[in-house]
Chains A and B, each alone.
Chain A
Amino acid sequence: MVEGWAREAHGLFRSHGVRQVGYVPDAGLSDLITACEGDNDIRTVLLTSEEEGVGLAAGAWLGGEKAALLMQSSGVGNTVNAIGSIITACQMPLFLVVTMRGQYGESNPWQIPMGQAVTPVLQSLGVRVFEVESDREAADAIEAGLKMAFLSNAAVAVLIGQRLIGAKSFIADVAEETRHVGA
């Protein structure tokens, strides 16, 4: 049973007529992916790289459909040229749901640089960024973002913060089996 912001997001995708959902999986997105995959009115498109989703969304719009893209924050780095060169250049709608890493409580140092860069990178390309930290904020921002994207030809990213989805811990989650090796 899908609950919380993911359930709201799926309902809003339906009510706003989103027909294609492109994604690269992330743990924090798994409920939303499951909800979309179980919906016969939504075509889910598994991507090898987040950049593909930008082309998908552009092509969907050209053909008269609305697409949403789901990705982890590190994947935003893979979308940069496609967003600037297609979405911004053509004033195409774009709607991203980004689950954050490298932020609040991160325990993998490799995630922190890209996580911290997500907002300034997206904003520098003309994407409106809504950062949310609760189920209610997420639902509000997703609704506002869907309206802006598809009625105002705007590019919008809703960033789901680690206060909401939790910070993955490599120490606590797998403590039983984990061995740590050093120099």
Chain B
Amino acid sequence: MSGPELERDEVVSRLMQARGDALLITGLGSPGWDAAASDHRPENFYLWGGMGCAVMTGLGCALARPDRKVWVLTGDGDALMGIGSLATVAVQRPENLAIIVLDNEHYGETGMQPTHTFHGTDLAAMAAGAGIPVTALVRDDDGLSGLIDMLDGGRMPLFAAVKVRAGKPKPVLPPRDGTYLKTRFRQAVLGPTEAVQPR
């Protein structure tokens, strides 16, 4: 059996071209580097810690901003650690939240040890089982094109696991100061005053 055929940098580049003004929360590690490489902007909040929390950070933001699309871009390790979050998202049913997992079947930051998905765990099936109404397992270019169509006008919440090759992404590191990233994101979303003068 051959491994995944899609390259993560090409996947993220195509996703970001279709992003529009969606807000972006990235899970720790490579998904953040991928987003920084292809579409670094203030509306990106890069988690540098808190493994397992990317989906819920996206949910909190999506509930707060029903007027904006919110995308979570994360990895299989982060998604597995926060797997219960999928049930929580399913119960809330935010119509503006998309969760995209770059599933390289490995823990990329710790020495490329295989994750559960390498051994057969199907994240899209788990998301469907949790009750998320739209799920996809993407393995090739056609699947990626289909996902992009779904992100553009399809129903949400949406969960997609995109199988990508396990390789080291380009080391494009976003800022790592969390207070800066937080304020920068809030300024972009809320405007310069409300971001720093909460009432």
Contact = CB atoms under 8 A, between A and B. Distances in A.
A165 interface: no
Interface stretch (B84-92, B108-116, B117-125, B142-150): B84-92
Interface in A63-121: 63-65, 67, 81-82, 84-86, 89-92
Interface of A: 17, 19-20, 43, 45-49, 51-65, 67, 81-82, 84-86, 89-92, 150-151
Interface residues of B, number: 42
A55 B181 contact: no
A52 B49 contact: no
Given A45-B92, A81-B49, A92-B182, 14 more contacts: A43-B92, A45-B59, A51-B53, A54-B56, A55-B54, A55-B55, A55-B82, A58-B50, A63-B63, A64-B189, A82-B52, A85-B49, A89-B49, A91-B178
B92 A19 contact: no
Contact of A56 (B49, B52, B60): B60
A56 B65 contact: no
Interface of B: 23, 25, 45, 47-65, 68, 70, 82, 84-85, 87-88, 91-92, 178-179, 181-182, 185-186, 189-190, 194, 198-199
Contacts of A91: 178-179, 182
Nearest to B182: A90
B57 A62 contact: yes
The prevalent SS among residues of A at the interface is: helix
B63 A46 contact: no
A141 B57 CA distance: 27
Nearest to B91: A46
A19 B88 contact: no
B51 to A, nearest CB: 7
A82 B189 contact: no
Contacts, number: 131
B103 to A, nearest CB: 20
Contacts of A62: 25, 45, 57, 60-61, 64, 182, 185-186, 189
Nearest to A88: B178
Closest 10 CB pairs of A and B: A59-B60, A63-B64, A55-B56, A85-B49, A48-B84, A90-B178, A55-B53, A65-B64, A59-B61, A60-B60
B81 to A, nearest CB: 9
A90 B46 CA distance: 11
B109 to A, nearest CB: 14
Nearest to A67: B60
B53 A60 contact: no
Contacts of B64: 19-20, 59-60, 62-65
Nearest to A46: B91
11 contacts: A45-B59, A45-B92, A47-B84, A52-B88, A56-B56, A60-B61, A63-B64, A64-B65, A82-B50, A85-B50, A90-B179
